[in-house]
Amino acid sequence: MHTMILLTCGVDEAGRGPWAGPVTAGAVVLDPARPIEGLTDSKALKETQRDALAPLIRERAAAFCVAHASVEEIDRLNIREATFLAMSRAIAGVTRQLRLEMILIDGNALPKDLPCEARAIIKGDLTEPAISAASILAKTERDALMKEMDGAHPGYGFARHKGYGTAAHAEALQRLGPCPHHRTSFRPIRELIASRAAQVTG
């Protein structure tokens, strides 16, 4: 008796925690006939390893899509819902290429209204190669966006910290104030805006 292989899509995000920039999701259907060595959680890989794997995934995957939710959407919806929105957009991009039978999402919760059966897998990026591939595409694409943002808004160090709340980022914020790519719903940015407004009115 043959085991039926479901057409499975792995999904993961990058950029939930940063103070700036979009949240990005990847969705990948791997091709069993074209395996890719070295897939694991993007955070466990060096940047050079991710940058080497990303083009291989794009070349060998049966289907893939990377999608974003903007800073405006993060601030309007909240980061959880914006993450689900980015994931839904990435999944929709894949379903335009293939009819999916199973979706595996890294984490403990699922977006609503998915096109087929789905499972949330905690630390799935370590155990499911399709989720690992999705995490690598999401991370490399978001990092590239943050490097572009660094050119448009120099001084914040976006190319180095990718928008995360490092000491250097906090210092740059105090010096320069927030830019249009900062998430005003996140407490450090919100508090900074409030304190600057108080100084002006005071």
Binding positions: 12-13, 106
Would you list which residues are annotated within the binding site for a divalent metal cation?
12-13, 106
The dihedrals phi and psi of 66, each to the nearest 5 degrees, come to -120, 135
Report the phi/psi class of residue 123: left, alpha or beta, with left for phi > 0 and alpha for psi in -120 to 50: left
Rounded distance between C-alpha atoms, residue 178 and residue 186, angstroms: 12
Query: 3-state class of 12 per DSSP?
Result: strand
Q: List phi, psi (to 5°) of 162.
A: 60, 25
State how far the Cα of 83 lies from the Cα of 57, in Å rounded to an integer.
Answer: 22
Where residue 15 falls (left for φ over 0; alpha for ψ -120 to 50; beta otherwise) is left
Q: Are 73 and 183 in contact (CB under 8 A)?
A: no
